[in-house]
Structure 1
Amino acid sequence: MNFLAHIFLSGDDELLKIGNFMADGIRGKQYEHFPLSIQKGIRLHRFIDTYTDAHPVFRKSTQRLHSKYHHYAGVIVDLFYDHFLAKNWSTYSDENLEEYTETFYQSLRDNYDILSERTKGMMPYLIEHNWLLSYQTVEGIGRILTQMDNRTKNASKMRFSSNELVEFYPEFEEEFTIFFQDLQEQVTIKMQQL
């Protein structure tokens, strides 16, 4: 899952959301240097990633892309799944997506001092280009994929993968819906253990 799903699955705890959001840049036990709620968010993020990568429905989605995008297929499907979460937001949340993302951006600003350096560096672009809200459209996903492809010096060819999103849209959406229900159930259990 990508940023939006990680944040959403964190529930209402502001610091847990931040920890889940910035976890990719935290290696090993470095997370122990953060406040407890952020530590929980980082551990939750790791659980979500492990569960996602092993889930048969997620793997089915990645297999559709693997021959063309190889080890980037999982990253691409993470973004596709965030698209379907954003597109179908009202199915999962009573809060408007635009308000939700603005609240999260403000939370990042309010807690700037405890963010990781990587998160501090990414934050201006995230907010300026409103990445989380842009996930609602295929065009928004395409822009994010192009930016990610640029970071790989175009080696990943991710910029072209929105074509597969369009071509197999119903299949990816159905897979997301099945997978996300399973993931939500597992996260509910995991949150009680953190």
Structure 2
Amino acid sequence: MAHAYLSFEEPKVLVGNFIGDFVRGAIEKSYEKEIVIGVKLHWEIDHFTDNHPVVKEAQEILRPEYGRYSTVITDMYFDYFLAKYWKNYHSQPLQDYVQNVYETIESFREVLPVKFLKTFAYMKYYNWLGGYGELDGIRRAMTGMAKKTRFQSKLETAHIFLDEHHEYLRIHFGDFFEDLVQHSKAKLSELKNQ
């Protein structure tokens, strides 16, 4: 959800931002400039998030229960808070926004990586983005991810942890997200000018 929002209404940047986990190597040879910018922005968002002290603090309460999966869970929790409090961040209703995201990505189908297309099919069918603002949506997403992990992840219980620590995690999201928005805007501008 955050990767969509942090594409700042730029369709090709959005596409790149969504496929960032599915591409490697000399992406400049495979994609046009704006999509490459989106991929690089995705990588920058992930790096900034992984190294932000507020995010690390939030991950510390997850680590005893979820170990290596704490970083993935924190990302999902922050998507939950963005979707749950969507009206604080965007004037368009969440479901309309999400539908536009799906349609935009679909319109670039011919350039999307095959591995991403499989994930995207599930994303659309189960409306992952639209469901992130509800505990049940997070439960479904985490349970789906748990089935794909190679190690015991306990991801299927992460929605319970979120419910039990809601306010603590919400405050961390609020403290972090404005920093991420400002950083992403600056990075997008920098990437466009390279």
Q: How many residues align?
A: 191
What is the correspondence of 1:1-150 to structure 2 with a 5 Å cutoff?
4-30=1-27, 32-150=29-147
Distance 1:26 1:138 in 2: 30
Report % sequence identity.
Answer: 31
Per-residue CA deviation, residues 94-153 of structure 1 (Å, 9 max, x unaligned), is: 111101110111112211101111121122211110000010101110110000001115
Contact between 1:31 and 1:42, CA under 8 Å: does it hold in 2? no
Which TM-score applies when normalising by structure 1?
0.95
Residue number among 163, 166, 174 corresponding to 1:166 in the alignment: 163
Contact between 2:27 and 2:36, CA under 8 Å: does it hold in 1? no
Q: Which residue of 2 aligns with 1:180?
A: 177
Structure 1 residues 58 and 32, CA gap change in structure 2 (3 angstroms): farther
Which TM-score applies when normalising by structure 2?
0.95
Distance 1:58 1:28 in 2: 28
Distance 2:126 2:110 in 1: 22
Per-residue CA deviation, residues 15-38 of structure 1 (Å, 9 max, x unaligned), is: 100100110011233354111111
State the secondary structure of the residue aligned to 1:10.
coil
Distance 1:71 1:98 in 2: 32
Structure 1 residues 76 and 31, CA gap change in structure 2 (3 angstroms): farther
State the secondary structure of the residue aligned to 1:180.
helix
State the secondary structure of the residue aligned to 2:26.
helix
Unaligned stretches of 5+ in structure 1?
none
Per-residue CA deviation, residues 64-91 of structure 1 (Å, 9 max, x unaligned), is: 1111111100000100000000001010
Q: Which residue of 2 aligns with 1:152?
A: 149
State the secondary structure of the residue aligned to 2:20.
helix
